[in-house]
A and B are shown apart, each in its own frame.
Chain A
Amino acid sequence: MISQFQSAAEAVGARVQRFDSLAEAAACVRNISGGSVAASHLPDSIRVSLEGVDFIEPEDFPEAKVGLSFALAGIASTGTLLLELSDTAGRAATALPLIHMVYLRASSIVPEMNSLAGAIDDLLSSRPHAYLSLTTGPSRTADIERVLTIGVHGPEELHILILEGE
């Protein structure tokens, strides 16, 4: 299922890498971001693994090169990520920068959209307000002459960091 997810995500222009440890994934983030990222509400383990990386203040997100987030699940059939972005700063981090990097646990990949119906319903109803995003590949348009062009108002690059170990 991981490979199915990977090929579906790559087919829509995402870049997928698989890691055995958080440390290896963190090295990849450092490498691509040059050491500073826009992010909000990352799981503690990921934040700890990124020791030394500069977390930009939300008012400076518009200038950030890389936004970082954590997906709750992946959908193998379409290469889609389920992100819970109820916090506006966390959402802006995935919407403003040219590069969006997302952590995804291999164990949270499900076969298809319908497998997530229950989880999405729970996420919507369990909090006072919610903003969920199903993200599939980078921002795209075909509005001029139907020529597919990647990167309009959202990220031009979507990097998915699949965590297989731990």
Chain B
Amino acid sequence: MKQRIGPPERGAPGGKVTRRDFLQSAASVAGAATLPAALATGTAQGVPAAPAVPAPAPAVHAVTRTAITLNVNQQRHELSIEPRLTLLDALREHLALTGTKKGCDRGQCGACTVLVNGRRINSCLSLAVRHVDDDIVTVEGLSGADGSLHPMQAAFLRHDALQCGYCTPGQLCSAVALLEEHRRAEEPRARLSDDAIRERMSGNICRCGAYPNIVAAVREVLDHG
């Protein structure tokens, strides 16, 4: 993937990103409370560091930046972004909301699940520029203002519904949406079978295989609130 992640001056010629660039930029952004200057001022003048070996001429194209506002967890954030920035990368790399995880980055694993206007989506397949008027909730926004856990978070803890925890933020957002979808449904409130819970959670892959405990946690919140 040729997507450039992080501040533009980190990018290698041609816009390609090495693993080292990625880790460095991710580390620098994760520790920053505010936007990197080059991003905040809306300029795109970052010059790649001179390579040790002359590289082939990079493809040159004008980088268009767009100023947008994102409403995330009831806070407004002003951003200057490229249209190709995904919502996932905006959350993690620009807003330092690293609870939302990047798994496959191709819409197959669900680790990046967030709620947009109350509905769960894969933030890796959605462009940030399209979410200007949306109400976005990430795993950081599930708990109450006083820090109390969402009932689903508490149930995940009680049922040990994780092992490594990498997929957990996506599982939680997905499970919270599942609850809401079930409450909204017009059909008689049939009790969901475990198979139905599994089907409705099937967009979230858990490589550790914590599925039985995830289903138990969702089951408990569905049945007892």
The answer to whether A and B belong to the same complex is no
